Amino acid sequence: MALVDADFMPFATTVLIADDDASVRRLLRLAFELDGYRTITAADGDEAVAAVRLHQPAVVIVDAAMPGRTGTAVTRCIRSDLGWTPTVIMLTGRTDVADRLAAFECGVDDYLEKPIKVSDLVERVRLHQRADTSRNSARLLGSVEIYDDLRRRLETGQPVAVVMAEVHGLRAFTRHYGFARGENLVGSLADLLLELARQEPEGLAGRLGAQDFIALVDPARAEAFTAALRTAFDARRPSFYDPVDTLRGWVDVTDRAGRTRRHRPVRLAVGVAASPRAWGPDETAPQVLHHLDLLERAAELARYARTADGGPVAFDRRA
């Protein structure tokens, strides 16, 4: 007679929840276990690193500010010392763009600002896990790889433009159509970005979080690159929607409080920031721009592009 024990049954995904607030750990543990995940908890950064070594979770949810090692220190340890590559999602009470970019630089895959909705966090985990299982050899680079290449270009004086692209309206789209179609939409954008980056001399494309993307291109090609990206995305956008929704130009989404709101189709919000121009032999070399400054500028422009006055693409003309 075969021995059957739930403790020996494999779990598709193990989630480590690292937070010094016991109430947060309990709430997140309940939410993920109700959704079919196996959970492990840690009360500080040192416990989190030990749990990663022991259990090798597929997902790590880490608070940015914890006793002992901070969330950033935990992520750096996971990426550099442990040789394990889980999805890392950081929770933080800070909202500065610089803090968000610094988190991505240390290897975070996604970043959520507190207070968070537990359902949104579970959705993010699902989206990342589906993206991981469908990833092929032609993949977008991770944040650390992109950051290292950007740092190299700036240090050697190579002109570079950072293109930040955000999918605006993805949450409403996913709530209306479900995760599978949300994943298809994001995957379509990823394919477009890869295809266009391959056509650029030394073009690179990467992903930051669930719906944010980044590309490195020649500044002289940045305007043509963003125009091609917008045109291609706009051409594909009707295929993401049901025909009736495409014709009327919106979807109705009902939130958990029972309120129904009308949402326009998703769109791209793009911010572009370029390094100082290359200098000639008789010119004084400009001060080297720090890579986080350039990234922060591009991210702020992408955020501005989401507003009514910003337009779909915002360029930094200072460089």
User: Could you read off the pLDDT of 203-227 as tens digits, one per residue?
Assistant: 999 887 767 889 999 999 999 999 9
Same domain for 304 and 241? yes
Domain enclosing residue 35, as ranges: 11-134
Please report which residue ranges of the chain form alpha helices under DSSP H.
22-34, 45-55, 71-80, 97-105, 118-134, 143-155, 170-177, 179-198, 222-240, 243-248, 291-305
What is the CATH classification number for the domain harbouring 123?
Answer: 3.40.50.2300
Count other C-beta atoms under 10 Å from residue 296's C-beta. Answer: 21
Q: To which residue do tokens 């605006």 refer?
A: 168
Label residue 174 by pLDDT band (50, 70, 90): confident
Q: With contact defined as beta carbons under 8 Å apart, do 106 and 79 qualify? A: yes
pLDDT at position 26:
93
Q: With contact defined as beta carbons under 8 Å apart, do 303 and 269 qualify? A: yes
In a domain, 308, yes or no: yes
% of the chain at pLDDT higher than 70? 85
- 21-32: pLDDT as tens digits: 999 999 999 999
20 or 81: whose pLDDT is higher?
Answer: 20
Per-residue exposure over 74-101, b if at least 16 CB sit within 10 Å of its own CB, e if not: bbbbbbeeeeeebbbbbbbeeeebebbb
Under the phi-then-psi rule, with left for phi > 0, alpha for psi from -120 to 50, and beta for the rest, what region is 290? beta
Same domain for 189 and 114? no
Tell me the pLDDT of the chain averaged across its residues: 82
- Rounded Cα distance between 293 and 316, Å, is 13
Residue 3 pLDDT > 50, yes or no? no
Q: Report residue 277 as tokens.
A: 């121009």
Amino acid letter for position 266: V
Beta-sheet pairing, 110-113 with 87-92: parallel
Angle at 19 between CA 18 and CA 25, to 5 degrees: 90
DSSP label at 66?
-
Same domain for 181 and 102? no
Same domain for 167 and 301? yes
Q: Report residue 85 as tokens.
A: 């590559």
Same domain for 167 and 242? yes
In a domain, 59, yes or no: yes
- Rounded Cα distance between 186 and 177, Å, is 13
134, 156, 188: which is the final residue of a domain? 134
What is the CATH classification number for the domain harbouring 272?
Answer: 3.30.70.270
Q: With contact defined as beta carbons under 8 Å apart, do 19 and 66 qualify? A: yes
Same domain for 153 and 232? yes
- 235-266: pLDDT as tens digits: 999 999 999 998 988 888 887 777 888 889 99
- Rounded Cα distance between 67 and 74, Å, is 11
In a domain, 15, yes or no: yes
